A and B are shown apart, each in its own frame.
Chain A
């Protein structure tokens, strides 16, 4: 079985500041990792994914994430956030067809 922990339920940050959203996972098998974003009153949109290869993955909207196998982490980063990045961010693992999601992190970007 696999599980995902998002360590921060809310992250407030000022516009143009950098941000890191933390994600740790546990699994007894190889996993594939995803970050999804949910804007208010919308569905989930894929930000980026790690399947294999380079541990630094670049996604849409200037986001990137780094896979760290030894620390079982997949933290999401952006060097400079915008007001429009205000949303809920979900880390997920796929180890057998279904996605297992973390509890989500609400990113609140303040002007």
Chain B
């Protein structure tokens, strides 16, 4: 158990809908990262937040957004969902998030299925 929690574990929804994925980092970690794992794209970095502020952005679509709250939990919002958004979404956390030596600890993921 990494100490990172994600809810829900599974989510099934329809095209055009909007969903919110939630992540709670390990106790004491200030940084949260979101990754998408799909069959065709593999594991891709989406976005990072550090202590409530956006720190780095990867291959995140404009239909997707994220935020980190004062209690350091984070939410990833996916809107106007398409079939191709079906994937496993991972959250990871690290202590600081600006040292490239830092280890990122991953949650169990949320499996999203768009029908």
The interface of chain A, by Cβ under 8 A from chain B, is 31-32, 34, 36, 42-46, 49, 51, 90, 94-104
Contacts and interface: CB of A to CB of B under 8 A. Distances in A.
Contacts of A31: 100
A98 B103 contact: no
Contacts, number: 53
Interface hub of A32, A90, A99, A101 (most chain B Cβ within 10 A): A99
Interface in B43-79: 43-45, 48, 55-56, 58
Contact of B45 (A51, A90, A99, A102): A99
Interface of B: 2, 4, 33, 35, 42-45, 48, 55-56, 58, 90, 92, 97-98, 100-109
A61 to B, nearest CB: 16
Given A97-B100, A99-B104, A104-B43, 20 more contacts: A32-B101, A34-B103, A36-B106, A43-B4, A43-B90, A43-B106, A46-B105, A90-B43, A94-B102, A97-B55, A97-B98, A98-B45, A99-B33, A99-B35, A99-B92, A101-B42, A101-B44, A102-B42, A103-B42, A104-B42
